[in-house]
Amino acid sequence: MNKLLLTVATAMLLFSCGESSKKGAWNQEDQDRFNAEMKKIDSELDILGDKKQAYIDCYYEKVVNKYDNFIEADSDEKGCGVLATECATELFE
């Protein structure tokens, strides 16, 4: 009986966690965390004018393709800064 309860509890835990993120395919939780961070700096991004959303989209794509998840990206300030600069350069050349 204990084995059955342990198996059921483990299965419930695994299913409740949902799909984990990976490079190129972040789960909804990591996408939401990214979007929340962008909202925090929304007014600062207004300087980009009509290219603001294109910049956010570019940055998101680069970050998702480089990092396994939001936490990994958030812990690499220097690396994310490089990606942000790349997007700005691409949009304003």
User: pLDDT tens for residues 5-36?
Assistant: 444 444 444 444 568 999 999 999 999 999 99
- Is the pTM for the entire model greater than 0.85? no
Q: At what angle do helices 52-66 and 77-91 cross, to 10 degrees?
A: 140
Does a structural domain hold residue 33?
yes
* CB of 37 closer than 8 Å to CB of 77: no
Would 4 be classed as within a structural domain? no
Angle between helices 28-40 and 52-66 (to 10 degrees): 140
- Which range marks the domain in which residue 61 is found? 20-91
**Would you say residue 1 has pLDDT above 80?**
no
Dist. CA 25–CA 31, nearest whole Å: 9
Number of domains in the chain: 1
Residue 5 lies in a domain: no
What confidence score (pLDDT) does residue 3 get?
A: 52
